Chains A and B, each alone.
Chain A
């Protein structure tokens, strides 16, 4: 019969973990995934539900402007070519984000700075584009939060997405500043990877919003809502991998 309370093992022994810098190295994790990375995944899964709720609200409400007979209606204000460009800018910034991560994983600090700067710049261009779009809608088209349900749900959805982009930009710039002061090297590449996860997520959400808000036609009034899944299907079929 065992007499010790619990079998014990030396903390660092037996697990093959060697502290590289004498302090604050995290012990190996049970899953092998870093704590912070897993935290980011958990946060993003939560954020999925957040955007799902907002997008559902938009889909329910976007044709209510017609029902209430109060314009402007979606088809009258959206400018697909204009927003396509800003969507392309945001998509492109995912590429520069990947390049930033690749750079630091090669311990290329200069490359990291260049691509971080590029990513945050592209993010700012996207935000600038959204600012001009919003003021165009507000000042020229007369669409505000209070005008009709389309205005309310459109500004709320795209505005909260824009807030996500803005937080990403602040994060990227902060990381850039830390890197300029010499604080980011190859062993910190996880910091870049995590902001990258966030950035790509925000990007993917924009693809969905762009499709639902801008690309899918809805002038037919309430039926537009039913047309949405169908249009999604058409879009999916047109994609190369399906």
Chain B
């Protein structure tokens, strides 16, 4: 049975007072991270890994923009350019935004619902290590010069072995397959955690809205990812087993072209049945973050909380019925186009509801434009621009013009950068004090925001013009006579500035980690339970599980339930943002967290059970890694019956089984 009585492995890095650094050797620290099942540490692992990938994806984008800065440029060739845009898209979607959202889910969900960990801590560790394995597979492709080069949507029949004979597509298909396993495992976990581990009294409609966002995102992942799992299985069968799922004709033994009956459009259907819900998987967590931040800095409860929750659910539900808007130009005919055009326009309604609810929350509030708030309001304004261009190409005739042009590139960057990334940065500024106990520097933060905001618009707004002038996406070059040179220089300069803005951010993080202002438990005067405990939280989160009887529990505790109706008493309120003080200037006579630490140090474990650390999740995930690498390199081959199987794959399966059995046979806590 693990308990907090093992501070030397459990507490390192979460800033526990009980840790004695002298006893924690380097290997012990490393081992404690490899075997950790603490949701907060897993959250940090997700966050740091995803941020590195965000930088990698950004670097890829900047090389592309350097290439496109001038007409007929020859910095990188067409082949390298193909690899760059494919890896950029794949990295940003699957290795940066999704896991960054996951970092917030991991760190915050148990804290917000008043739990000590997630429902399945080892499964949670498995999700992270599997994600790491998938990301590694995708990026190892650079080493053999065979990075995926077919686009993040992997359209058939280009992906067939006939047209893509090298390993590029295999790295992509198997890497994504493994990332899918990671996402599914994480979603099952959060689904159960949110439904089952809420503190006493926390009904579904008393959950912080971030929990709603996470819950619905998990449902989306659970129901959308199997479609791409199947799509990728069929693709891998086409490539490894010689089937013809996605290719209508092939060469027979005599070298003649023969009809097979396979259909490239099946890929597009399966991919976009997953792909459109996927864009909501990317944006709903962002919406949820912003919905936490705006009320706190407007000092008003979220306007129309229930409607917000229903809107999230409605977006998710409708999101499964719009995928054909990615296929308007494939010739499905007027009926499907009309139907899916209508459903696509419909989805703008719940999205619009959310935007108006954020405005409603700010309306009449006491706005504090801190850095998190700036980024949050940044999302509200910039996402809206992307939403509007989305509704524009919801119309098939308009989309026929937009499709495959830079206009679409502008659209999805307004929703993904102006939406998801703005919100994730807002979330980092908002919760960094909780994660680390230090505030990020507000002055640098504001500079960071304004540079990002300006550079973002400089980069992506002119893409609308380029698209309407007919500049196609995915091309590595354009002619000098095209007239596109002017806006392309602007776009590229904006892109480099945007890249530089992240240096400001990293400087802020490094500086604040060194000597940032101490955060205290509740630096922003928050409304949710994570602000009721110390920063960073103790390893067991809550000494005693809180009882919840109000939606904005902490505000209710601090100000009584009347909060939100009247803010006349400004002076008192101002005292409260100052930090540590909880209540009207009265300091509670005992600090519960401090007291708990003392008790734990004294060996009094009370009723706190924590899960054991385990190495098996990492072993199981590495089994998946070797399985996939064996298939990609088809090496070393051993004959099994009539077919040859790669030995590395067989070994990987054995490792996976060792992981699973070790895991199920060891005691969980």
Using CB atoms and an 8 Å cutoff, list the residues of chain A in contact with chain B. 1-12, 14-15, 23-24, 29-31, 33, 35, 38-39, 42-43, 45-47, 49-50, 53-54, 57, 60-61, 64-65, 67-68, 145-146, 148-149, 152-153, 156, 160, 174
Collect the chain B residues with CB atoms within 8 Å of residue A29's CB.
196-197
Find out whether the CB atom of B119 lies under 8 angstroms from the CB atom of A39: yes
Q: Which residue of A lies closest to B544 (CB)?
A: A8
Collect the chain B residues with CB atoms within 8 Å of residue A7's CB.
546-547, 549, 557
Find out whether the CB atom of B261 lies under 8 angstroms from the CB atom of A9: no
Find out whether the CB atom of B196 lies under 8 angstroms from the CB atom of A5: no
Chain B residue total in the interface (Cβ 8 A): 72
- Which of B234-242, B349-357, B382-390, B453-461 is found at the contact surface with chain A? B234-242
Contact pick for A145, options B189, B242, B543, CB 8 Å? B242
- Which of B85-93, B438-446, B472-480, B580-588 is found at the contact surface with chain A? B580-588
Contact A38 to B244, CB < 8 A, known contacts A4-B588, A46-B184, A49-B226: no
Find out whether the CB atom of A5 lies under 8 angstroms from the CB atom of B230: no
Q: Which 4 residue pairs are nearest across A and B when measured between Cβ atoms?
A: A64-B261, A50-B226, A53-B230, A29-B196
Q: How far is the CA of A87 from the CA of B191 in the complex (A)?
A: 34
Q: Which residue of B lies closest to A37 (CB)?
A: B192
Find out whether the CB atom of B245 lies under 8 angstroms from the CB atom of A152: yes
Flag whether B13 is at the interface (Cβ < 8 A): no
Find out whether the CB atom of B260 lies under 8 angstroms from the CB atom of A148: yes
Find out whether the CB atom of B557 lies under 8 angstroms from the CB atom of A30: no
Find out whether the CB atom of A152 lies under 8 angstroms from the CB atom of B237: yes
Find out whether the CB atom of B262 lies under 8 angstroms from the CB atom of A149: yes
CB-CB contacts below 8 Å: B529-575 with A: 529, 532, 543-547, 549, 553-554, 556-560
Contact A50 to B230, CB < 8 A, known contacts A1-B559, A11-B607, A152-B244: yes
Q: Which residue of A lies closest to B250 (CB)?
A: A146
Find out whether the CB atom of B544 lies under 8 angstroms from the CB atom of A11: yes
Find out whether the CB atom of B233 lies under 8 angstroms from the CB atom of A156: yes
Collect the chain A residues with CB atoms within 8 Å of residue B119's CB.
35, 39
Q: How far is the CA of A153 from the CA of B245 in the complex (A)?
A: 8
Flag whether B229 is at the interface (Cβ < 8 A): yes
Flag whether B223 is at the interface (Cβ < 8 A): yes
CB-CB contacts below 8 Å: B162-214 with A: 184, 187-189, 191-192, 195-198, 200, 202
- Can you identify 16 A-B contacts, CB atoms within 8 angstroms? A4-B588, A5-B557, A6-B546, A7-B546, A8-B543, A11-B545, A23-B1, A23-B609, A29-B197, A30-B196, A38-B191, A39-B189, A49-B223, A64-B260, A156-B237, A174-B664
Flag whether B280 is at the interface (Cβ < 8 A): no
1/0 per residue, CB under 8 A from A, across B364-382: the answer is 0000000000000000000
Q: How far is the CA of A38 from the CA of B588 in the complex (A)?
A: 40
Find out whether the CB atom of A6 lies under 8 angstroms from the CB atom of B196: no
Collect the chain A residues with CB atoms within 8 Å of residue B262's CB.
61, 64, 149
Contact pick for B230, options A31, A57, A152, CB 8 Å? A57
Flag whether B616 is at the interface (Cβ < 8 A): no
Contact A15 to B120, CB < 8 A, known contacts A6-B532, A65-B261: no
Q: How far is the CB of B477 from chain A (nearest CB, A)?
A: 38
